[in-house]
A and B are shown apart, each in its own frame.
Chain A
């Protein structure tokens, strides 16, 4: 069975601090996909990144970066120089192939205080 664990329920940081959101996953599949979604107060899920299991390269997009480590089954998300607009619930998710349901973690609520 697949499982995603986001151990941090809530995190609060002061603006401009860096913050890392943890994600640990479990799967028996050799091919799988990992995701991060952002859910701002408006409620709509916003796709941030997809990573497949064969690509362990870390990725950076502006202030966002992702660290994928198969050895520890982790896919952590770091926001550098956080801003108030980063305040949201962030979900990590797993899928074993295209056109299959996403298995979500329970989310981490990030509050960035000015």
Chain B
């Protein structure tokens, strides 16, 4: 079946503009994660959704970042008043919760490369 998809694949914006990044998880996957990959910082967790709820937002770097998920499926990550340090690849992953306590593999999308000029 189809994997995790993200759009756009590339986004160039000017400093101060708002951007929206979209993630379509694998059908049936109720868990959804956003990560950010910055040069020199590796992969950092941003936010985790279970269904439409976000029990862990601890990785969001500032209040300019927000995310929502609707219908237990598509998620949108919004960055307001973008800054140059927001330039990074934003990765989305999804997993099927399965059994409690069992590990459920995260499947990653191709990412959105954001460049803030």
Contacts and interface: CB of A to CB of B under 8 A. Distances in A.
Interface of A: 33, 37, 42-45, 47, 50, 52, 91, 93, 95, 97-107
Interface of B: 31, 33, 35, 40-45, 48, 50, 56, 59, 89, 91, 93, 95, 97-111
Given A43-B89, A43-B111, A44-B108, A99 B31 contact: yes
Contact of A50 (B41, B89, B103): B103
A103 B56 CA distance: 14
A93 B44 CA distance: 11
The 5 A-B residue pairs with the shortest CB-CB distance, nearest first, are A106-B42, A104-B43, A101-B45, A45-B108, A98-B103
Contacts of B104: 98-99
Given A43-B110, A101-B56, A102-B106, A91 B42 contact: yes
A106 B39 CA distance: 10
B101 A97 contact: yes
Contacts of B35: 101-102, 104
Contacts of A97: 101, 103
A101 B101 contact: no
A43 B31 CA distance: 22
B95 to A, nearest CB: 7
A100 B48 CA distance: 8
Contacts of B41: 106
29 contacts: A33-B103, A43-B89, A44-B109, A44-B111, A45-B93, A47-B106, A50-B103, A52-B103, A91-B42, A95-B103, A98-B97, A98-B100, A98-B101, A98-B102, A98-B103, A99-B50, A99-B95, A99-B104, A100-B48, A100-B56, A101-B35, A102-B33, A102-B35, A102-B45, A103-B45, A104-B43, A105-B42, A106-B41, A107-B43
